[in-house]
Structure 1
Amino acid sequence: MKTKVYLAAFGMLLSLSACSPIEDTKNTLAYVNDVEDYMNEITQFANEFPEQAEQAITDENVAASLEKNVEDLQNAIDTIENTEAPELIDSLHAELVQQNEALSTHLVKLEEGLEKGTLSEAFIEDQEFMQTIKDITSIYNEIENLGE
C-alpha cells in the first residue's frame, strides 16, 4: 500500500513539475505577443511621425490627431512596462523599460510642443528621438530571436 502511495505522489510530482515548463512557455509566448503588439504601434507611429509632424506645424487638425497618437503610444508604453516579463526575458524587459522612459520623455516634449503650438522642425529632425525608437526595435528583435 505504501508503495502505491509513493508511486502516486511521485507521479503527481512529475506531472506538476512538467506543468511548470509548459506554463513558462505560455507566459513567454504571451509576453512576446504583447511586445509584438507594442512594436507594431511604435513602428506605425515612427513611420507616420515625420509627415504627420510636418503637417501638424501648420494644421491644427493634424496636430490634434498627432497628439492623440502620442497619447495612445504613451498608454501602450505604460501597458508594456506593467506587463510581467518571464525570467528568461527579465533583463531585456528591463532594457525595454529604460528605453521606454527615454521615449516617454521625448513624447512629453512632443505633446507640449503640440499643445503650445511650438512644434519645430528641429524636434521633428531630432535624431535622438528616432534613435530611441530604433533601440526599442533592437531590444524587440533580441526578444524575438530568443526562440530561435
Structure 2
Amino acid sequence: MRKLMVLLLVVSSMMLSACTWFESANQTVQYADSAQEHIHRLTDFAEQAPQMIQDAATNPETKRQLEERLVALKEDIEQFNLMDAPAMAKDLHQQIIEKNQVLLQEINDALVNGHLALDQLQNSPILQTITDITGLLNRIENLGL
C-alpha cells in the first residue's frame, strides 16, 4: 500500500511538472506570436511611410492618415512594452523595449503638440530604428519553435 502511495505521489509530481512545462512553452509561443505581430506592424509602416511622407507634403488627407498611423503605432509600442515576457524571452523583450523607447521618442518628436510636423518626420531616423527592431525578428521566430 505504501509503495502504491509513493508511486501515485511520484506520478502526480511528474504530471504537474509536465503541465508547468507545457504552460511555459505555450506562454513563450504566445509571446513570440505577439512580438512578431508587433514587428510586422512596424515593418508595414516602414514600407509605406516613405511614399506617404512624400505625398503628405502636398496632400492634407495623406498627412492626416500618416499622423493617425503614427499615433496608432505609438499606442501599439506602448502596449507591447507593457507585456510580460516569459522567462525564456526576458532578455530579448528588454532589447525590444529599449529600441521601442527610442522609436517612441522619435515619434513624439515628429508629433509636435499631437500633430504631425512633417519636416521633423522627414529628418527623423524612425525608419532606421524600425529596421533595427526588425533585426530581432529571427530571434523571436526561434522562440516559437
Work out whether the TM-score is over 0.5.
Answer: yes
- Alpha-carbon shift at residue 140 of structure 1 (Å): 2.2
Q: Which amino acid aligns with 2:46?
A: A
Q: Quick one: higher RCO (CA 8 Å, sep 6+), 1 or 2?
A: 2
114 and 39 in structure 1: CA distance in 2 versus 1, 3 angstrom threshold: same
2:122 aligns with 124
**Structure 2: where are the runs of 5+ without partners?**
none
Match of 2:21 in 1: 21
> Which 10-residue stretch deviates more, 92-101 or 21-30?
21-30
**Structure 1 spans left out of the alignment, 5+ residues:** none
With structure 1 as the length reference, what TM-score do the two structures score? 0.88
Partner Cα distance (2:109, 2:102) in 1: 11
Read off the aligned partner of 1:124 and give its amino acid letter. Answer: Q
Q: CA deviation at 1:43?
A: 0.9
Q: Is the 8 A contact 1:113 1:119 kept in 2?
A: no
Relative distance call for 1:123 and 1:64 in structure 2 (3 A) is: closer
Whether the 8 Å contact between 2:106 and 2:126 is mirrored in structure 1 is yes
Q: Which moved more, 1:105-114 or 1:88-97?
A: 105-114
The answer to whether the 8 Å contact 1:56/1:66 transfers is yes
How much does 1:141 deviate?
2.1
Identity of aligned residues (%): 26
Comparing 9-18 with 138-147, greater Cα deviation is found at: 138-147
The residue matched to 2:136 in structure 1 has which SS?
helix
Query: Per-residue CA shift, 1:3-30, capped at 9, x if unaligned?
Result: 2221111110000111122111101110
Question: Residue type matched to 1:14 in 2?
Answer: M
How many positions carry a matched residue from both structures?
145
**Map of 1:33 onto structure 2:** 33
- CA separation in 2, counterparts of 1:52 and 1:113? 21
Give the equivalent residue in structure 2 for 1:58: 58
Deviation of 1:53 (Å): 1.2
Q: Deviations over 1:20-58 (max 9, x none)?
A: 221111011100110111112111100111111122122
